[in-house]
Structure 1
Amino acid sequence: MQENNVLHNGIRLPDEWPPRLPDPDRVKEMDVPYLSEKPVVIPINVGRQLFVDNFLIKETNLTPVYHTPDFYAGNPVLSADKQWELTPEGYAYAGPFSDGIWYDEKEKKFKMWYLAGAGAISTQKHSLCTCYAESDDGMNWVKRDLDIVPGTNIVDTCNRDASTVWFDKTEPDPAKRYKLFLIEYQPDYIEWQYVLKYSSDGIHWSETVAQSGAVSDRSTAFYNPFTRKWVLSMRHHNKVSWRSRSYLEHSDPEEAVSLAHRLREGVRDKHIVFWFTPDDKEKRHEKYPEVDPGIYNFDAIAYESIMLGFYSQWQGPENYIAKSLMIPKRNEIMLGYSRDGFHFSRPDHQAFMGVNETAEAWNYGNMQSINGTPLIVNDSLYIYSTGRSLNGIWWDAGTSTGLARLRRDGFVSMRTDKEGFLTTEKISFDGRYLFVNADARGGLAVEVLDEKGNPVKGYSKEDCLVFNGNETKALITWKGSDDLSSLAGQNVHLRFYLNDGDLYAFWISPWQTGESRGYTGGGGPGLNENGLDFPE
């Protein structure tokens, strides 16, 4: 966060933060104040600028198109093939329940933490533990024999529900590089509680350093680098929906965990606020249209200049029906976008990663989001999820992990099949080189306008060297100049002229190599090890 509660993008946070929203009396879409009251000038020095909402757009005749990733043909990439990945009853679990999949640029490894059966270490009914796997390519995973439970890849033996493994690449203390926010089962009046542990390697974890009061299951955590806060995303029950969310933030993860407990409806808490319910546009299950959808979980991560929000959206049926039919309930993963980390817009309510209700599918039902994703692999994003199969053994088991791939920045594009334009709001920058992520089938030109909307001499449409091609990082130049350094610090508009194509993102980099200074999600091969898109 910058001075006076002004964020990197010019958004000014209100004095009361986080906002204290009233208890809901109906399901509704979240209001996003910064989309209706935009900053007068939008600084664009942090990250690629994505067209996931109208924040950057002053006027356009291009049409937004919402894209979904392609599932990898070799899915699942990880499934239960070890005896210890079964519960004492024999039910198979091998997939993150949020947990995490990250890329370690120092060790050049993809790393996964996941929920597994704990039959090898417990006789308690439905016991679950945490395991670890790693990969060189993100598709082929190895379960190493580790020393926590010798001969297995178990790294934490606590009986658990959800967890978050956060790979904190900027943590100055090596012993706290990995942070584990575990929803641990306590066989007493507490039932579930957050416990926080640290690790230097993600394998050997400390004793508990902080624990919460009683919380509900399927609660998780994330870090918002734009406000420098740790956020607990907690399942919240209210009269509108038993599958809503409450919110707690703190600069210290130990304090955040220590302050957490169930938020009671109608009771004002000093630290925890109601966040959101399902909204009135949620997708419904076509076989159970009478079931009101819910938000089963919500994970988030910084990507470039925004926060991505992954909704595990529940459509039913209720557990007792799913159990009687021996089918997994349907959860699908939806996507939302935020520029302050609290208010998320959802311009599209269709499944971003959906179920496949065919008999042999790994993701027949109960898909769940995973922390750390997306990972950046060359020009693609690797996005993982779990799913549950129609396994014929138990309705709530058969969990495995799948991979889907999307173009880098490819969540939303602005499209035209003829000549079109897009003009940005007033922006400022301190970089030099203009880059775009675009599929310009008929050509793309960029014009710089002054504050009054007049073309800047030397940077008109006619001066621009037209880009033709399909690239995720293409440099834009003009006849008299290769860069925009003479305009740095001024307030300008950019106008994109696109002919038959898709525009995904733009940014102005200090470097001719095009690094954006944005956040790189869970990381990726060849990226900076600090989690930001800077030259190595």
Structure 2
Amino acid sequence: MYPDLTPGKHLVLDHHTVADTYRLKRRVHRPTRDPVASVLCADRPWEGESLNVFNVHFNPDTGRHRMWYGIGKPAIARQRRALKSGLAGNIGAPQPYYLCYAESDDGIHWDKPALGIYEDDAGPNNICFKGHSAAGGCGILHRPDAPANERYVLANLDWLSLTTGGVCLAYSADGIHWAYKEPNGPIVFGESDTFNNIVYDPARGMYVVYLRGWHAAAVDWIIDWVGGSGRRMVRKPQAGDDPTASGKGQRADFIAQHGRIKNQRRRVAASQSPDLVNWTEPKIILTPDELDTNDFYGLAVFPYADYFLGQLWVYDDDETETSNIELAFSRDALNWSRLPDRPKFIPIGQPGDVDGFMVRSAQAPVIVGDDIYVYWTGHERPHDDDSWIDPIPDDYIEGRPPAVLRGKLRMDGFISLSADRRLGALITQPFTLQSNRILINAATYGGEITAELVEPYALEPRGKPIEGFEAKDCDVFRADNIHHPLSWNGNHDLTTLRGRRVMLRMSMYQADLYSITL
């Protein structure tokens, strides 16, 4: 049973908003890519071979954009797998992942200011956090109402020693100067080498951090490399395979010769806390099903209207080595839903594009005026290329370093209820009118939308329309408008109905409905 709708904006994603539909389909809308090839790339000596955008914020008061992105230092980045294999415990060697900071007036042209926080052989740099040994997969939460020195919270993967590490929290007053609290042990132990982003759910009073989860259904399966181009074959162990290769010691040599033992698959896990101090045991919250490839690499989560939206990094670790982004949505930040046909929100680009193999999103889009800007990192090379094998195979293709790209959506333009040439309809959950008008965000394409207000019903086949607000009285909508007030007989003032419990029924064809604001 779903609760009545409350005043405010409601996305039309599921039955929390829409009680029933007829001949309508949920449609994912992809961001329109910016015409520039990329808005930021690794072009400084200290930025290395790895770059991933984590967070982009926009301040409407100053008109300035802020970006936090991760980098990896060159030489050790290629050796990280071999280094990790020779250490005791489940935590790998400290990886040289750092957090960098950039600013922009337009979201396209970015400055990398010399912050003077860390010294580097290459000179002044924009590195703002290195953690204890590393700052990996940094997710940043801005809390305007928190104490001044804790208004920014950063969740990152760090190592306190060669055998002890996990997700740690750092704090900052300005988003640039970061420090751990004492004691600064991990809030979650384990190698969460993903985007460890964090959100706050005000309805439950809980912080939620999203982590790397693991499952081990395909225990000790082996991946053999075919050539050096990322083409691979999965098989079960055979006589002659090194049984110790799945553990420590000889694993690095075995990897270089044969591939790697596949005994874990990537999933999305979450831990929650009411106070950023006491955290629950992480639980896996998203697992691939029959329609998915085998790995969920990460989930970038942000609140939007009355939902949490998630950009799910869907990774094919067995065949293509590609990673695309799909949308998921949740009411409580823990229980997630997805569209049944698994449409891609941000697909990889064409072969040869800077995002031709993998895409990974920033945590949240940026809203500027009536537009939504989505940022993601594009990778021209596969995740498990051969750059870490020593010596590098002759047929290895270097490719370009990763780069940050940008795309644009209309307001609320993630998922719509879409009608084709046939007339379709929907009816909302009940709500008590508390405002003077109802707004829709919608677009028609040679079609139209009409609406009527009806009394709540369950057993009656239609529900009784309210006099003066029937479909025949509705002013037909044939336009593209993100803030259109529904009107009847030229009047959109609903003052006479305030305090009355109603449902909204809409008919539409050749149209998209994105949201309803009550």
TM-score normalised per structure 2: 0.76
Tell me by how many angstroms 1:432 deviates: 2.2
Tell me by how many angstroms 1:122 deviates: 12
Cα distance per residue 1:78-126 (max 9 Å; x no partner)? 101111112xxxxx23322xx3111123432111101113469999975
> Are 1:400 and 2:392 matched, yes or no?
no
Match of 1:188 among 162, 173, 188: 162
Match of 1:153 among 126, 136, 146: 126
- Pair 1:425–1:152, CA change in 2 (3 A): same
Moved more, 105-114 or 76-85: 105-114
Tell me by how many angstroms 1:177 deviates: 1.5
Match of 1:242 among 265, 277, 289: 265
Secondary structure in structure 1 of the residue aligned to 2:46: helix
> Are 1:493 and 2:503 matched, yes or no?
yes
CA contact 2:423–2:507 (8 Å) conserved in 1: yes
Alignment of 1:26-41 (within 5 A): 38-39=1-2, 41=3
CA–CA distance in structure 1, aligned partners of residues 432 and 113 of structure 2: 49
Cα distance per residue 1:129-151 (max 9 Å; x no partner)? 11001111211111111121262
Q: Which residue of 1 aligns with 2:31?
A: 69
CA–CA distance in structure 1, aligned partners of residues 75 and 102 of structure 2: 18
Moved more, 71-80 or 220-229: 220-229
Aligned residues: 427
Q: Which residue of 1 aligns with 2:412?
A: 409
CA–CA distance in structure 2, aligned partners of residues 435 and 101 of structure 1: 29
Secondary structure in structure 1 of the residue aligned to 2:278: helix
- Pair 1:473–1:367, CA change in 2 (3 A): same
Secondary structure in structure 2 of the residue aligned to 1:438: strand
Alignment of 1:161-310 (within 5 A): 161-169=136-144, 171-190=145-164, 192-209=165-182, 210-212=184-186, 213-216=188-191, 217-218=193-194, 220-223=196-199, 224-240=201-217, 242-256=265-279, 271-282=281-292, 284=293, 293-310=294-311
Tell me by how many angstroms 1:393 deviates: 9.1
Q: Which residue of 1 aligns with 2:66?
A: 111
Q: Which residue of 2 aligns with 1:349?
A: 342
Bigger radius of gyration: 2
Tell me by how many angstroms 1:502 deviates: 1.6
- Pair 1:243–1:205, CA change in 2 (3 A): same
- Pair 1:394–1:124, CA change in 2 (3 A): closer
Tell me by how many angstroms 1:418 deviates: 4.2
Q: Which residue of 2 aligns with 1:419?
A: 423
Q: Which residue of 2 aligns with 1:443?
A: 448
Q: Which residue of 2 aligns with 1:378?
A: 369
AA in 2 matched with 1:377: V
CA contact 2:58–2:368 (8 Å) conserved in 1: no
AA in 1 matched with 2:50: Y
Secondary structure in structure 1 of the residue aligned to 2:277: helix
CA contact 1:60–1:423 (8 Å) conserved in 2: no
Tell me by how many angstroms 1:228 deviates: 2.6
CA contact 1:177–1:201 (8 Å) conserved in 2: yes
CA–CA distance in structure 1, aligned partners of residues 302 and 77 of structure 2: 34
AA in 1 matched with 2:304: Y
Structure 2: gaps (5+ residues)? 81-94, 218-263, 389-397, 458-462
CA–CA distance in structure 1, aligned partners of residues 77 and 302 of structure 2: 34
CA contact 1:77–1:403 (8 Å) conserved in 2: yes
Q: Which residue of 1 aligns with 2:51?
A: 94
> Are 1:130 and 2:107 matched, yes or no?
no
Cα distance per residue 1:156-176 (max 9 Å; x no partner)? 12323211111223x232221
- Pair 1:480–1:334, CA change in 2 (3 A): closer
CA–CA distance in structure 1, aligned partners of residues 322 and 510 of structure 2: 38
Structure 1: gaps (5+ residues)? 1-37, 87-91, 260-270, 285-292, 323-328, 509-536
- Pair 1:182–1:429, CA change in 2 (3 A): farther
CA contact 2:330–2:336 (8 Å) conserved in 1: yes
Moved more, 435-444 or 299-308: 435-444
AA in 1 matched with 2:296: I
CA contact 1:75–1:401 (8 Å) conserved in 2: no
> Are 1:473 and 2:479 matched, yes or no?
no
Q: RMSD in angstroms over aligned alpha carbons?
A: 2.8
AA in 2 matched with 1:94: L
Q: Which residue of 1 aligns with 2:6?
A: 44
Moved more, 400-409 or 482-491: 482-491
CA contact 1:52–1:411 (8 Å) conserved in 2: no
CA contact 2:5–2:431 (8 Å) conserved in 1: yes
CA–CA distance in structure 2, aligned partners of residues 124 and 281 of structure 1: 34
CA contact 1:83–1:120 (8 Å) conserved in 2: no
Tell me by how many angstroms 1:470 deviates: 0.5
AA in 2 matched with 1:437: N
CA contact 2:60–2:368 (8 Å) conserved in 1: no
Q: Which residue of 1 aligns with 2:357?
A: 365
CA–CA distance in structure 1, aligned partners of residues 368 and 19 of structure 2: 29
CA contact 1:225–1:302 (8 Å) conserved in 2: no
CA contact 2:152–2:172 (8 Å) conserved in 1: yes
